[in-house]
């Protein structure tokens, strides 16, 4: 069994890796160290295949399966397979739930799917969303597998070994992007409430680590909010994004981790599994995959922005978590660590089985009631699915642009950036992309949102909303 996979490299200057980078590193580590006489893994340059048809034929001919896991770029493998008359299965993933680029991937490949082509996801929630938006996917193999634990330390880390703190202090931890769509400002309100409505004499302190994505989440803004609400004191500690291996030190200092995100980008919540592995209790909202990964008693109600239209080109706060309920759970002292990690502990072997055969990919969404209600309320507006010839023509156009944007410093690159700025519906975002694309030291398949920028070529701007359930 010959399996091909793109040899992706994360930008070494990236301060905090996102879910796509983490996922690919986990999958790559597993495939580089696989001990399986049935699997022969061959790494290749994805960019090289797009640029050189002869190289693509030489590389891809004879493969039984191609695994695509570097952002939403699987559609190019489908295009190469059609254009070059090749025959291999494609296993591709969805790493962000309601996002223009992943929606575009599934939109373009819909007429090009073949028996055995497999959708791989990290949660039942994502599978449910995509079968709701693209009903035809229910007729194709799907697999819930994410071997994230291959990167976890052994043995399991112990709590409170590295950050000894006063017994009367409770540390509220937050890990991830500090942004409005993740509801980080609500975490600040939560800790303020815990201290104001405190009859036990305990002191609650917030420790947050991650990149800052919203002005409301800047350290000065947050510190000022605490000072105004609670007076002077050590209420807040901001920890800039740090290498992944240091995350376990942070977790060791948390009494409880809070996860209030209601972002449209949520597919999983990797930190929930990491907290489970470190035996740190979690309090979360009933959104996205959290109901699968967190014990029901540790979940809080979410009020969604029903009837509001959102552009899937951006991240959005879809609702608010009941922080009064969160505060009550934390004050109770009854929040226990979940067993979420155990549900993923065998996913390395499951993933390898899916590569061997589509017969091992037979997962169907098993949703909680809250997930069912949310997905049923979801209305995503897409253009009519293309016919095969139309899809290939669109992909050929995108591939030409994809190549041109690789040639940084060339006349072709400059011309395409200029044209993108002309046709872009969101010019400021495109200008940011142009700046990042000139500076990156990483693989261009996942930098600065090239997938999002190429949506402009097709005028692909899906909108979505939520109805009353």
Residue with the larger pLDDT of the pair 221 and 72: 221
Are residues 293 and 410 located together in one domain of the fold? no
Query: pLDDT band at 162, cuts 50/70/90?
Result: very low
Q: How far apart are CA 144 and CA 119, in angstroms?
A: 9
Average pLDDT of the chain is: 91
Burial label, 295 (beta-carbon count in 10 A; 0-12, 13-18, 19+): middle
Choice between 287 and 246, residue whose per-residue pLDDT is larger: 287
**C-alpha distances out from residue 445 to 55, 437, 463, Å:** 18, 10, 25
450 pLDDT band (50/70/90 cuts)?
confident
pLDDT exceeds 50 at position 328: yes
Length of the chain: 469
pLDDT band at 437 (very low <50, low <70, confident <90, very high): confident
Q: Which phi and psi (to 5°) does residue 125 adopt? A: -55, -50
**Mean pLDDT value of segment 131-142:** 97
In the predicted structure, residue 14 carries a pLDDT above the cut 70 = no
| 322 shares a domain with 362 | no
Please state the separation of Cα 460 from the chain's center in Å: 21
* pLDDT one-digit tens code per residue, 404-421: 887 777 888 899 999 999
Q: Which residues contact 231 (CB under 8 A, 6 or more apart)?
A: none
Q: Are residues 191 and 109 in the same domain?
A: no
How many structural domains comprise the chain? 2
468 lies in some domain? no
Those residues whose C-beta lies under 8 Å from the C-beta of residue 154, and which sit 6 or more positions away, are none
Same domain, 107 and 216: no
Q: Is the pLDDT of residue 146 over 80?
A: yes
Q: Are residues 391 and 314 in the same domain?
A: no
Dihedral sign of CA atoms 272, 274, 276, 282 in order: negative
Domain final residue, candidates 307, 323, 343: 343
C-beta separation of 213 from 179 below 8 A: yes
The residue from 314, 343, 372 where one domain ends is 343
Residue 386 pLDDT: 97
In a shared domain, residues 308 and 213: yes
pLDDT above 80 for 103:
yes
- Domain membership of residue 157 (yes or no) is no
**Domain residue limits at 440:** 2-150+349-463
Task: Please check whether residues 339 and 357 belong to one and the same domain.
Answer: no
Q: Is residue 164 included in any domain, yes or no? A: no
**Confidence band (pLDDT; 50, 70, 90) for 166?**
low
Residue 369 inside a domain? The answer is yes
Mean pLDDT is highest, among 57-71, 193-207, 293-307, for 293-307
Q: Is the domain of 306 the same as that of 183? A: yes
Token pair 């254009």: residue: 83
The domain boundary, picked from 317, 343, 369, lies at 343
Q: What integer pLDDT is reported at residue 227 of this predicted model?
A: 96
pLDDT in tens, 296-306: 999 999 999 99
Calpha distance 129→125 (Å, rounded) = 6
* Same domain assignment for residues 135 and 87: yes
Instruction: Answer yes or no: is 155 within a domain.
Output: no
Is residue 90 scored above 80 in pLDDT?
A: yes
pLDDT score for 17: 66
Confidence of residue 158 (pLDDT cuts 50, 70, 90): low
CATH number for the domain harbouring residue 194:
3.40.50.2000
According to DSSP, residue 94 is labeled -
Which has more pLDDT, 251 or 439? 251
- Distance (Å, whole) CA 188 – CA 194: 10
Look at 449 and 96; give whichever has higher pLDDT: 96
Q: To the nearest whole percent, how much of the chain has pLDDT over 90?
A: 73
Q: Are residues 206 and 282 in the same domain?
A: yes
Instruction: List all residues 6 or more positions away from 175 whose beta carbon is below 8 Å from its beta carbon.
Output: 208, 209, 210, 247, 250, 251, 257, 271, 274
- 441 vs 416, higher pLDDT: 416
- Tell me whether residue 160 is in a domain: no
- Report, as an integer, the average pLDDT of 313-339: 95
- Within-domain flag for 368: yes
Cα 356 to Cα 290: distance, rounded to the nearest angstrom = 30
Q: Are residues 302 and 433 in the same domain?
A: no
Mean pLDDT value across residues 79-84: 97
161 lies in some domain: no
pLDDT at residue number 323: 97
Q: Are residues 233 and 324 in the same domain?
A: yes
């Amino acid at each position: 069994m010959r399996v091909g996979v793109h040899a992706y490299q994360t930008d070494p200057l990236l301060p905090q890796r996102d879910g796509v980078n983490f996922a690919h590193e986990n999958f790559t580590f597993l495939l580089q160290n696989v001990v399986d006489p049935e699997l022969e893994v061959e790494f290749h340059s994805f960019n090289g295949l797009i640029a050189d048809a002869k190289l693509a034929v030489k590389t891809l001919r004879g493969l039984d399966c191609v695994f695509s896991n570097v952002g939403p770029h699987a559609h190019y493998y489908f295009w190469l397979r059609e254009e070059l008359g090749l025959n291999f299965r494609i296993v591709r993933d969805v790493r962000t739930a309601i996002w223009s680029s992943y929606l575009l991937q599934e939109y373009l490949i819909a007429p090009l799917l073949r028996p055995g082509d497999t959708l791989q996801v990290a949660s039942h929630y994502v599978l449910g969303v995509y079968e709701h938006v693209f009903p035809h996917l229910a007729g194709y193999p799907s697999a819930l597998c994410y071997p994230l634990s291959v990167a976890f330390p052994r043995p399991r880390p112990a709590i409170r070994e590295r950050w000894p703190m006063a017994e009367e202090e409770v540390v509220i931890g937050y890990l991830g992007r500090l942004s409005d769509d993740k509801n980080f400002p609500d975490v600040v309100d939560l800790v303020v409430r815990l201290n104001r409505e405190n009859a036990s004499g305990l002191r609650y302190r917030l420790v947050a680590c991650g990149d800052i994505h919203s002005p409301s989440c800047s350290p000065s803004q947050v510190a000022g909010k605490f000072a105004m609400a609670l007076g002077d004191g050590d209420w807040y500690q901001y920890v800039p994004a740090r290498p992944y291996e240091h995350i376990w030190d942070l977790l060791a200092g948390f009494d409880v981790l809070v996860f209030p995100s209601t972002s449209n980008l949520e597919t999983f919540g990797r930190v929930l599994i990491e907290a489970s592995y470190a035996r740190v209790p979690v309090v979360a909202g009933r959104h996205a995959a959290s109901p699968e990964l967190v014990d029901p008693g540790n979940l809080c109600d979410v009020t969604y922005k029903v009837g509001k239209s959102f552009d899937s080109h951006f991240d959005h706060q879809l609702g608010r978590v009941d922080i009064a309920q969160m505060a009550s759970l934390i004050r109770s002292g009854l929040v226990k660590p979940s067993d979420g990690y155990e549900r993923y502990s065998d996913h390395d072997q499951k993933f390898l089985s899916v590569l061997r055969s589509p017969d091992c990919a037979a997962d169907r969404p098993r949703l909680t009631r809250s997930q069912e209600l949310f997905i049923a309320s979801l209305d995503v507006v897409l253009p009519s699915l293309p016919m095969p010839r139309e899809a290939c023509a669109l992909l050929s156009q995108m591939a030409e642009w994809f190549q041109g944007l690789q040639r940084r410093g060339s006349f072709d690159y400059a011309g395409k950036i200029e044209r993108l700025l002309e046709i872009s519906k969101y010019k400021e975002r495109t200008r940011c992309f142009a700046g990042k694309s000139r500076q990156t030291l990483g693989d261009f398949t996942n930098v600065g949102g090239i997938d999002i920028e190429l949506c402009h070529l097709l005028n692909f701007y899906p909108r979505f909303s939520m109805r009353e359930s």
